Amino acid sequence: MVTQVRVYTINRGMLDSWIKLFNEKIVPTSAGFGVHVVGAWANRPQNEFIWVRTFENEETLKRYEDSPERAAYTPQTGPHIAKIEVRTVENALLVPAAT
C-alpha cells in the first residue's frame, strides 16, 4: 500500500470552491479507481489544503490519473492550485492507537 501526504497551496479566495470541488469530484472519482482519501484539512491562514490518500500500487494510481473521468474535471481543479507538494510516507506507528 502506498500512502501520500499532499499539501496544496490554493490560490487566494478559492479555498472554499476547492473544498467543494474536491469533495464532489476528486474523492468519489478517485475512490472508484482504488485511490482512497484518508483525510483532508484546510489551513486557512496559509491557503493550504492538506490531504492523505492511499492506493495499492503505482499502476492503480496511473489508471486513475489517465482516466477520462479525471480528465473531465482537471480543467476545473488546475486554476485553484498554486503549488503542490507530495510526500510518500510509511507507517511508523509501532503500537496501535488507542480508540
Position 99 scores a pLDDT of 65
In a domain, 23, yes or no: yes
pLDDT band for 84, please (50, 70, 90 cuts): very high
Looking up cell 502506498 gives 2
In a domain, 65, yes or no: yes
Three-class secondary structure of residue 82 per DSSP: strand
Q: What is the mean pLDDT of residues 88-92?
A: 94
Q: pLDDT tens-digit profile of 24-54?
A: 999 999 999 999 999 999 999 999 999 999 9
Q: Which amino acid is at 49?
A: F
Domain count, the chain: 1
Print the domain residue range for 73: 2-89
- CATH code, domain with 41: 3.30.70.100
Region for residue 13 given its phi and psi (left: phi exceeds 0; alpha: psi -120 to 50; beta: otherwise)? left
Max CA distance (Å), the chain = 43
Position 98 scores a pLDDT of 72
| Residue in 2, 26, 3 with CA at minimum distance from that of residue 81 | 26
Cell of 71: 480528465
Q: What is the mean pLDDT of residues 82-90?
A: 97
Position 18 scores a pLDDT of 98
Position 94 scores a pLDDT of 85
Three-point CA angle 56, 59, 64, nearest 5°: 90
In a domain, 9, yes or no: yes
In a domain, 94, yes or no: no
User: What average pLDDT does the chain have?
Assistant: 96
